[in-house]
């Protein structure tokens, strides 16, 4: 590229090194792992009880990363999926906890290009809709603040928050 006002110039690499501009978010992934986030989710939340699709842990981890990476809406998850370096780290993390047939299946899906590292925007939107308490909508009034009662999934998220606070308090001594 042509030189600008500042004393540097951009050069395009010929090879793809799978670098990521979102590498700072990986520190938070490490923190979640060290806190036992997966265990906390398994113990407190069962929004995704069926075996198919993205698990609670995968959905929540993706939403947390989306927030950390500056996402404004679930559609911004496409930016994270397009980041080759971040996608590679996420795949490596998932493989690290997969064994046997499940591990072979994941490897096969990623080689064929049929598996993403993050849930799609529509999948995340469907997941988030599980936390909506439809029965409380009749209590809404126009131009008034309204806080609906929690459904069982929101109560599960509250349990995760409590577990995280307990972890931080125990490790802050």
Between 145 and 95, the higher pLDDT residue: 145
Taking a C-beta distance cutoff of 8 angstroms, is the pair 51, 70 a contact?
no
Rounded to an integer, the average pLDDT of 102-118 is 74
**Does 23 have pLDDT greater than 70?**
yes
pLDDT at 161 over 90: yes
How far is it, in rounded angstroms, from Cα 63 to Cα 122?
Answer: 13
pLDDT in tens, 40-69: 999 999 888 777 788 899 899 999 999 999
Tokens of 60: 């929540």
Tokens 């060290």 label which residue?
Answer: 34
Model confidence at 106, in pLDDT bands (50, 70, 90)? confident
* Residue reference for tokens 């978010």: 25
pLDDT band at 9 (very low <50, low <70, confident <90, very high): low
Assigned token pair, 135: 């029965």
Query: Which alpha helices (H) appear in the chain, and where do they start and end?
Result: 25-35, 37-44, 56-68, 77-82, 84-96, 100-112, 121-129, 152-171
Residue 65 CB contacts under 8 Å (≥ 6 apart), including other chains: 25, 28, 29, 80
Split at pLDDT 50, 70, 90, the class of 10 is: low
């Amino acid at each position: 590229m042509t030189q600008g006002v500042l004393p540097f110039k951009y050069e395009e690499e010929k090879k793809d090194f799978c670098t990521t501009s979102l590498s700072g978010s990986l520190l938070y992934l490490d923190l979640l792992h060290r806190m036992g986030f997966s265990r906390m989710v398994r113990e407190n939340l069962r929004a995704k009880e069926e075996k198919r699709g993205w698990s609670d842990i995968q959905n929540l981890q993706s939403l947390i990363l989306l927030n950390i990476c500056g996402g404004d809406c679930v559609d911004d998850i496409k930016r994270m999926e397009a980041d080759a370096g971040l996608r590679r780290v996420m795949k490596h993390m998932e493989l690290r906890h997969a064994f046997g047939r499940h591990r072979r299946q994941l490897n096969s899906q990623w080689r064929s290009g049929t598996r993403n590292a993050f849930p799609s925007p529509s999948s995340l939107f469907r997941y988030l809709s599980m936390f909506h308490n439809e029965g409380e909508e009749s209590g809404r009034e126009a131009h008034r603040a309204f806080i609906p009662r929690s459904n069982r999934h929101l109560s599960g998220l509250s349990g995760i928050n409590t577990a995280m606070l307990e972890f931080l308090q125990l490790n802050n001594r």
